[in-house]
Structure 1
Amino acid sequence: MKKWRFLGIDDSFDDKKCCIVGCVTCDGYVEGFMYTEIEIDGLDATEKLIAMVKKSKFRKQIKCIFLPGITFGGFNLVDIQQVYGETKIPVVVVMRRKPNIEEFDSAMRNVENYDTRKRIVEKAGEIHKAGNLYIQTAGLSFDEAEELVKAATVKGNMPEPVRIAHLVASAIIHGESRGKA
């Protein structure tokens, strides 16, 4: 049986810098990392993420991209449909809590380009409950996404590549890993 490789992506930031770390795993084993930087509250997360994936030596082997949400570096939103469209790799957004869309929308009004950001949120699609998580998908069905989440999870609820990407990104910015993905 062919083994699946998963890419988990997470960020960490302070007032000066936002780093994006990608972690590639196969059977829970770390095979490699990717790195890029984005603007805090900018609009470059989608393009930077796509470029990071496209130039990776792992690109053709990745079965799925996992994100812990669509916001990175504050309100720098990732258009998951565009990521799927340009990489042809399915995307699954995996969240521990269902976002309060009204609060999110209200906060999003405090940064520039509200209409652009609102469209990205709408394009991300419906949020589904999957066990103890909430997920959104691009390029695959909810059932397929749920199967991939289970396959990528070693311990707990979060897919292992997202958990590891979170630890590395927070260590880059804060000097040591912090919090949960």
Structure 2
Amino acid sequence: MKAQSRVVGFSDGHLRSTNSIRVLVGVVYRGSLLLEGVLKEKIGCNEFDLTKALIKCLAKSRYRAQLRLVVLDSPIFFGFNVVDLDEAYRGVGIPVAIVRSRSVNVDRLNALIENQGGRCSKALSSLGEGCKVKIGERKLYVYSRGLSKSELFRALHHCSDETGRVTALESARIIAAAFNRYLNVAKRLNETVLNLVGGWCIRGEVLS
């Protein structure tokens, strides 16, 4: 992968959301410095398999033909929506990688999913061992499809800053957190207004 190749990073902002609709955010970078675009896909609260939504989001993007790598910051999003790495790689047609600061504990994640009403996922068990790479100052655990370890190291080196952070992922995390936090606040505000209106109506007060 060349230094200025386009990479897209996806994140949910690491927020727990009770909304019926959440937003998965993808950020397209050329290399590690130039932000070129932002993608978003609405995710329903009962949509346990996030893979199809990810594939759909990329398929309709005008950047799709230029993308060379898809980077995710977790195998699960919004608490229990799972991404199947193998299916994502087949559906997207370009290398896909999960990049984390620690290894994936499959048993712990499956327990977390079950506790939140989801189902244990074979996709998590098929992740494999992953590999350790050091980019800049950071040691990362990476689970990928479509790249050898040496190719993966070069690709991550090209799309990371001097500290080893994948800039597309960091930007996606910030934007997704802001977006989903706004949706959470808007929902609570709407519920508060509805409760107030309901209370006024019960008391027979006139609303103006």
The unaligned stretches of length 5 or more in structure 2 are 183-208
Measured in 1, the distance between the counterparts of 2:5 and 2:148 equals 17
Q: Distance in 1 between matches of 2:119 and 2:86?
A: 19
**TM-score normalised by length of structure 1:** 0.87
| Corresponding residue of 2:133 | 130
What is the deviation of 1:74? Answer: 0.7
Deviates more, 1:32-41 or 1:68-77: 32-41
Tell me the residue number matched to 1:50.
55
After TM superposition, give the deviation of residue 109 of structure 1 in Å.
3.3
Separation in 2 of the partners of 1:113 and 1:173? 24
State the secondary structure of the residue aligned to 2:97.
strand
Equivalents in 2 of 1:123, 1:100: separation in Å? Answer: 12
Alignment of 1:31-70 (within 5 A): 31-40=36-45, 42-70=47-75
Percentage identity across paired residues of the two chains? 26
Q: CA deviation at 1:142?
A: 2.0
Q: Is the 8 A contact 1:41 1:75 kept in 2?
A: no
TM-score (norm 2): 0.76
AA of the residue aligned to 1:153: S
Could you say what secondary structure the match of 1:109 adopts? helix
Structure with the greater alpha carbon radius of gyration: 2
In the TM superposition, what whole-angstrom CA distance separates every residue of 1:18-44 from its partner, at most 9, and x where no partner exists?
Answer: 211110101320000110021346323
Q: Which amino acid is 1:138 matched to?
A: R
Are residue 113 (structure 1) and residue 116 (structure 2) matched?
A: no
Moved over 4 A (4+): none
Question: Structure 2 matches for 1:1-181, cutoff 5 A?
Answer: 3-12=4-13, 13=15, 14-16=17-19, 17-27=21-31, 28-40=33-45, 42-110=47-115, 111-114=117-120, 117=121, 119-131=122-134, 132-175=139-182
CA distance in 1, matches of 2:107, 2:49: 24
Amino acid in structure 1 at the alignment position of 2:157: K
Secondary structure of the 2:143 match is strand
Deviation at residue 165 of structure 1 after TM alignment = 0.5
1:18 match: secondary structure: strand
Deviations 1:72-99 (A, max 9, x none): 1111011111111011110011001123
